[in-house]
Amino acid sequence: MKIGFIGSGIMGRPMAENLLRAGHQLFVYGRRFDRIEPMLVLGALGKGTPAEVAAEADITFTVVSDTTDVEQIILGERGLVHGAKPGHIIVDMSTVSPAATRRLAAALSERGIHMLDAPVSGGEAGAKAGTLSIMVGGEAPVFEKVKPLFEVLGKSVVHVGGNGAGQVVKCCNQIVVGLTFEGVAEAILLARRNGVDPLKMREALMGGFAGSRILDVHGERMLKGNYKPGFKTKLHHKDMAIVMDNAQETATPLPGAALIAQQMNALMGAGDSELDSSAIMRVLERMVGEGK
């Protein structure tokens, strides 16, 4: 199959490069040449519009920042829909609104075009290593066609339901991640303010039920104050807005998620949008006069 790929950011570029290294032919589009140049060096062919990408490909992946971008790339004046033939599969791996995803899937279905929503978890490191967790919504037969490509990009690939279900599960992921960040940050702060070595505290917790990947990796980030982004605060902030919008649409009480949304607001307001979202530790430190 010929593959289209649109998205050359912190997640998209390494994902596209993994598909190229696996031997697949890619047709790519980017608003800036310098963002897609590394993919061209590896053998991808550049196109001038999303429509031109879709005209060449059987399957097109999109990995962009927000709902508006996805809508424009798919249905815009030069969007994929204008080049895609019936039977084409559009796989959106961005994190966007579940409601918007369902609307896009319905609009594409009317033209005989299939859509999967397949947001990911695992950050830049997972994208580079091809070890992402991929949660996929859409029709099961379409999923099966794309599954071999998903397996190039991730180590956990789960079909979670119909169109929009992947985005709902990503919302659930961001709640769990955000609340675990908060728990780890609060534990570090409490240990420190009681004169207990937070390094030793973390070591002790890693041996019990409190142990987690986030306590291991992001706990170390918090202890060192190293917030070089694997997943930027501004993206987690955007994701939590999607979570809270969905909570309002479905009348679902999410008090913990609301807290994380406000913590992300605080980071954004302090100018920390480009830091890793584990910088939630800084919000707590500022509350007690310890932060920058």
Question: Cα angle vertex 70, ends 68, 72, to 5°?
Answer: 70
Q: State both tokens at 17.
A: 């490069």
The DSSP H or E segment spanning 161 is: strand 154-161
For residues 157 and 146, give the distance between their C-alpha atoms in angstroms, rounded to a whole number.
11
User: Is 2 marked active-site?
Assistant: no
Parallel, antiparallel or unpaired: strands 45-46 and 26-29: parallel
Catalytic residue among 85, 128, 155, 170: 170
Q: What is the DSSP string of 118-140?
A: --EESHHHHHHHT-EEEEEES-H
Residue 248 burial class via C-beta count within 10 angstroms: exposed 0-12, middle 13-18, buried 19 and up = exposed
Residue 238's alpha-carbon distances to 65, 96, 134, 202, 277, in angstroms, are 9, 9, 19, 29, 11
Residue 93's alpha-carbon distances to 54, 66, 119, 172, 255, in angstroms, are 16, 11, 4, 16, 27
Active site residues: 170
